[in-house]
């Protein structure tokens, strides 16, 4: 038995609210438990670093007023949660 652990796939949206009220959304492949680690590292480095697919984002902590994370079990669940509301107009 190796020392590797197998974790279930988790998908989350990280919402970073900046001091000016702007909200930045990042979709990541990780569960909410990662937020504690991200914030600890941000405290150590002075920047919140988020890996989103093939992009990395670094936001200086002095620009951030709030960080929240919402976890989904599948990418489809995340897409459904964030889908725009259906139009209430005439059916097409």
Q: Where are the domains of the chain?
A: 11-81
Q: Are 31 and 74 in contact (CB under 8 A)?
A: no
Report helix, strand and coil shares of the chain as percent, to nearest 5: 25, 40, 35
Provide the CATH number for the domain formed by 11-81 in this structure.
Answer: 2.30.30
Q: Residue 4: is its pLDDT beyond 70?
A: yes
Q: Residue 8: is its pLDDT beyond 50?
A: yes
pTM for this one? 0.75
C-alpha span between 8 and 30 (Å, rounded)? 9
| Residue, of 12 and 1, whose pLDDT is higher | 12
């Amino acid at each position: 038995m190796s020392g590797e652990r197998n974790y279930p796939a988790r998908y989350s949206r990280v919402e970073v609210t900046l001091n000016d009220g702007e909200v930045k959304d990042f979709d990541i492949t990780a569960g909410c438990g990662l937020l504690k680690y991200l914030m600890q590292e941000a405290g150590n480095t002075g920047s919140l670093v988020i890996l989103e697919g093939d992009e990395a984002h670094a936001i200086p902590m002095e620009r951030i007023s709030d960080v929240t994370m919402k976890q989904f079990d599948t990418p489809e669940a995340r897409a459904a949660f964030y889908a725009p509301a259906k139009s209430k107009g005439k059916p097409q």
